[in-house]
Amino acid sequence: MTTVYRFSFGPWNIHSGADNFGPEVRAEFSFADKLEFYKQLGFDGVQFHDDDVVSNADDPWVKQEAEAKTMRRILDERGLEAEFVAPRLWEHPLTVDGAITANSAEARRYALERSKRAVDIANILGCRNIVLWPAREGTYLREAKDPVVVVSRLVDWINALLEYDKNIRILGEMKPNEPMDHAYVPTTGHFLGLASLTVDPSRVGALIESAHTILAGLDPSDEMAYALYHKKLWSVHLNDQNGLKFDEDKSFGVVDLRRAFNQVWVLERNGYGQNGEFIGLDVKALRTQSKETSTKHLRNSRAIFLRLVDLCRTLDVAKVEDLRAARDYEELDLMIVNHLLGS
């Protein structure tokens, strides 16, 4: 069965270019303008934080509900689909030292109640995926928290949401560091182990981001393969990364084309996308781009992915198998490079 891929990104992927060391360099597009780009660029899915949907996730529910219904109408009118909702638990003053894993009981209560509202928002948008990006679920120093208790708090949070709504799924988007120095659950393998402790492991899976995996010193295609074997790869954030430093969110395939090829290869060969999964991007425009050219990173990443799909589909698989059987990995090495070079 030939997969017809669908693509998604989050509205934060079109941005003004501000970073930790400098201000905005281009005018921000309005949210309405951003939504207009989706179909123009070949995307069908929208990734949301809770406060992308509502103006203030701490407002009374009656206001949030009305705003979520308005967003659903806007999506329906444009033929767009909400892929997931992620509660933004890392910016509130209460969660400066973590939300789900905080020592503060007040912070943990806030995190759970906000997460339940994110579930309610997702239901209105017609999606069942809730993403946990554990931004501050870590520590600056080991002695600050009890690491065993922290893991139990993560399991308790997942269980509370699974019991709150019997239809939703929790997708862990793990990252080893940043903004905290050390994450308590740094990789997909860690998270899937934790998922096995929950009240319904069948509804706990993974969203794997290329750059997060690279920051952990791992290869994204291996992480994806691991999750695919467990039937737990429910979304991806494809991008690229220059080494072990900060999370760069570069356009997919622009740093290491062979690494990108191997991600596409493992997705293509294992039926990813055939059950409605999106090819999600989490890429940022270079700061040097003008406002008028600040969506090219999305266009380019999608085009690179589809070109790599073509290369996967035209690779001589029988020859690959023969070289594997012969353990002639030098020849296999050259074969892959030549294929990527178009020769």
Q: Which two tokens stand for residue 161?
A: 């949401």
**Residue 1 pLDDT more than 90?**
no
**2 belongs to a structural domain:** no
**136 belongs to a structural domain:** yes
Question: Where residue 76 falls among pLDDT bands split at 50, 70, 90?
Answer: very high
Structural domains of the chain, count: 1
Cβ 145 vs Cβ 181: under 8 Å: no
**Residue-level pLDDT at 343:** 87
**30 belongs to a structural domain:** yes
Residue whose tokens read 């501000």: 18
**220 belongs to a structural domain:** yes
**Residue-level pLDDT at 127:** 98
**Residue 116 pLDDT more than 90?**
yes
**170 belongs to a structural domain:** yes
**80 belongs to a structural domain:** yes
State the average pLDDT over residues 290-319: 98
User: Mean pLDDT score of the chain, rounded to an integer?
Assistant: 97
**Residue 93 pLDDT more than 90?**
yes
Domain that holds residue 53: 7-341
**287 belongs to a structural domain:** yes
Question: Where residue 77 falls among pLDDT bands split at 50, 70, 90?
Answer: very high
**1 belongs to a structural domain:** no
**DSSP of 309-341, one letter per residue?**
HHHHHHS-HHHHHHHHHHT-HHHHHHHHHHHHH
**52-62 pLDDT, tens per residue?**
999 999 999 99
**180-201 pLDDT, tens per residue?**
999 999 999 999 999 999 999 9
Does the reported pTM lie above 0.85? yes
**218-268 pLDDT, tens per residue?**
999 999 999 999 999 999 999 999 999 899 999 999 999 999 999 999 999
CATH number at residue 145: 3.20.20.150
Residue whose tokens read 């003053």: 93
| Cβ neighbours, 10 Å, residue 323 | 19
User: Among candidates 213, 101, 234, 217, which has minimal Cα distance to 156?
Assistant: 101
**DSSP of 262-319, one letter per residue?**
HHHHHHHHTTTTTTS--EEE-----TT--GGGTTHHHHHHHHHHHHHHHHHHHS-HHH
Residues with active-site annotation = 49, 52
